Structure 1
Amino acid sequence: MKTIIFLLLIAAPLAVYAKAVKKPQANIEKRPVTPEAAAQAQPDPRFCIFGAQSGKVFNTEAAFKAVVWKNDVVYVGESHDQLLDHQAQLEALKAMKIARGSKIAVGFEMLNASLQPILDEYTAGKLTQEEFLDKVNWKKEWGFDFNLYKPLFDFIVENKLRGLALNVPKKVVGKIARTGLESLTPEERAYLPEKVEISRHKKYNDFLKASFAGHGDSPMAKMFTIENYLASMAAWNEGMGARIADFINANPGYSVLVVAGNGHVIYNAAIPASVKARVKGVRQASFYTESGACPEKINKDHKDMANYVWYINHPPKAEPVPAATAASTTAVTVPATAVR
């Protein structure tokens, strides 16, 4: 009996204490939610995103921002001719701006590293758009309509952000595909890091080999060996990855948005793997953009494509796409790789 009374005496104050500590929590939960915060917590058709491993849904602006904010490097892959993919990249850039202010660089596959001084002039507001396009020879260098990328460049200029010209010159990638890494001159080799690692990622290598095999007995395919082809792809990705890594290592506190074809993002085996090997403890998030209506759950064939799969319902193409440049299918230099 005494024991029971003793326990009751202990329990009574604990119960009172429990009620006391719950009251502030209740007040916190009842704080008014701003319309903006409420909207960001609602499913948003712009964000049909799934965790590529977990299948978890990230379909709100708040969830998307949370992913972007906690990473140093964010990759949003693209199909080069799809405006909605570039709008997705802009969404990522806007989210990064909230978290990092002006400490942001945007890396472009569209421009090779030799064009960095021109890009610096443009982002600093020292060149008009027309002067920039003329100096980088946009139509020859890339080929796709600049208007697809214009909102990204405008945001960079308006907010005084940094731009990075990432790509390896087409002639260098093409030469490797034809005659191997050892055939490069010192000037050509300077576009690549000292170490060029050919990926051992099985799914990624299967992806590349299938693309190579798809050319069959075409004259272009006969120009290359599979070994040199894989070396050219490795050099391409390592060149871009090293550019990103060098920037991050030299600029602590900065984050980088990488604007590149899906083939450079897929399986995290291309550029992301190169950056990871060169930046200790780097935090990365990759989004593979997949054309199609928003499904209820991730397509099983799309699992592991990146960290996240972002379904974007592309409109039907009204006209055939213009001849692809080296940056998309590398038709000028190496067999197409399904890099979109």
Structure 2
Amino acid sequence: MKKLFLITCSTILFCIATIGFAQTAEKPQLSDKNYKIYSVKQNKEVTLDDIVNDMKDYDIVLFGEEHNDSVGHYMEMSLLEHLFAKYGSSVVLSMEMFERNVQPIVDEYLNGFIKESHFKKDAIAWSNYRDYRPMVEFSKAKGLKVMAANASMRYVSLANRKGVKELEKLSPEAKTWMAPLPYDTATGKYYEKLREIMGYNAANNHGDTSQAALAMLSMMPKSLAGHSLWDATMAYSISTVFAKTSTAKVLHLNGRFHSDDHFGVFQQLQKYAKGKKVLTISSVSDKEYPKIDFKSYSELADYIIFTDPNIPKTYKQ
């Protein structure tokens, strides 16, 4: 049985990525000793090249990360480099870390019109942007598209507070910065996963299992609206790539909760990118590393990258 990824309810529903984190001072030196890649389909350890070669039959790869995992970021960069080496200019980098409304600013920076300092400020780069900077700079140097894929936090907050119907009252321009309305909200096993985590964290954070959990779970309908807006908007943003480049190979980065178990963004892509084949990766820091019980993760993703927990995180949560 796969291990449940416990993440605080505030992170799922109300996370503002630009809050100040205490980042570690230096990047560690990493190598292939700091990770293992497991293929669920082949039921064995594989290499990064195996994922890259597998992408010949896929259009999109969702890389589910833990945002402060040094090894995970190292693997993202390595995957981008390997994809470019094999597929060239058809590679597109799509990122949860930038909101759709800052796409013009991202483009201006990639095209050399504005300074990096202005780019980071005006595009509201995450406070751990240095974890993603190598990928943006690589894309800039190679002339690759970078997609600002996420919904604006102000609209996610609005959906959380007042529900999907309130989004309908926004201006036509505002609606271009999110998935088309109405969008699908989490159902089935994904809904149950959200419910379980919300209930767990409400009890854990407040120490009153019955009252705290029930109070948090009573917020589910509106909270689902915000969380699902993230998923739907990222999937919709990815889908727009293919309108211009039908042969694109999209590497999309998101927190792994958004794509683990083939939920979230993966599900939304079945609506917005019909006919496109989607591969999933989940990057997991396992305290038992390097002795991994691979089968306990068999439903998490197509490929699972297990990272060395002894490597310092890029920031402290």
Q: TM-score, normalised by structure 1?
A: 0.73
Identity %: 19
2: CA distance, partners of 1:320 / 1:73: 29
Distance 1:307 1:319, change over 3 A: closer
Range moving further from structure 2, 257-266 or 59-68: 59-68
| SS, match of residue 67 in structure 1 | helix
**Correspondences of 1:31-110 after superposition (within 5 Å):** 45=33, 48-52=36-40, 54=41, 56-110=43-97
Paired residue for 2:228?
234
Paired residue for 2:275?
281
2: CA distance, partners of 1:105 / 1:273: 20
Paired residue for 2:310?
315
Paired residue for 2:299?
304
Q: Check conservation: 1:47, 1:58, Cα contact below 8 A.
A: no
Paired residue for 2:25?
none
Query: Where does the alignment leave 5 or more consecutive residues of structure 2 unmatched?
Result: 1-31, 204-210
Paired residue for 2:29?
none
Paired residue for 1:186?
170
2: CA distance, partners of 1:180 / 1:66: 42
Q: Check conservation: 1:291, 1:314, Cα contact below 8 A.
A: yes
Distance 1:70 1:297, change over 3 A: farther
The structure with higher relative contact order (CA 8 Å, sep 6+) is: 2
Q: Check conservation: 1:177, 1:224, Cα contact below 8 A.
A: no
The count of aligned residue pairs is: 272
Deviation of 1:95 after TM superposition, in Å, equals 1.9
Matching of residue 208 in structure 1 with residue 203 in structure 2:
no
Give per-residue Cα distances to partners, 1:185-240, cap 9 Å, x unaligned: 223444222341123341x2222112221224669x66972111122211210011
2: CA distance, partners of 1:320 / 1:305: 25
Q: Check conservation: 1:173, 1:236, Cα contact below 8 A.
A: yes
Distance 1:223 1:265, change over 3 A: closer
2: CA distance, partners of 1:318 / 1:226: 31
2: CA distance, partners of 1:69 / 1:46: 27
Distance 1:318 1:267, change over 3 A: closer
Give per-residue Cα distances to partners, 1:64-106, cap 9 Å, x unaligned: 3222343211111111112211111112211211232112211
Query: Where does the alignment leave 5 or more consecutive residues of structure 1 unmatched?
Result: 1-43, 323-340
Which of 225, 237, 244 does residue 238 from structure 2 map onto? 244
Paired residue for 1:176?
159
User: Which amino acid is the alignment partner of residue 83 of structure 1?
Assistant: S
Paired residue for 2:206?
none
| SS, match of residue 316 in structure 2 | coil
Distance 1:46 1:73, change over 3 A: farther
Deviation of 1:150 after TM superposition, in Å, equals 1.3
Deviation of 1:284 after TM superposition, in Å, equals 1.4
Matching of residue 269 in structure 1 with residue 263 in structure 2:
yes
User: Which amino acid is the alignment partner of residue 271 of structure 1?
Assistant: V
Distance 1:317 1:296, change over 3 A: closer
| SS, match of residue 102 in structure 1 | helix
Distance 1:218 1:124, change over 3 A: farther
1: CA distance, partners of 2:195 / 2:103: 32
| SS, match of residue 194 in structure 1 | coil
Paired residue for 2:136?
153
CA RMSD of superposed structures (Å): 2.6
Give per-residue Cα distances to partners, 1:144-173, cap 9 Å, x unaligned: x22111111111011110011011111111
Paired residue for 1:290?
284
Matching of residue 162 in structure 1 with residue 157 in structure 2:
no
Distance 1:119 1:224, change over 3 A: farther
Distance 1:158 1:178, change over 3 A: same
| SS, match of residue 101 in structure 1 | helix
Distance 1:274 1:48, change over 3 A: same
Q: Check conservation: 2:69, 2:285, Cα contact below 8 A.
A: no
Distance 1:55 1:123, change over 3 A: same
Paired residue for 1:115?
102
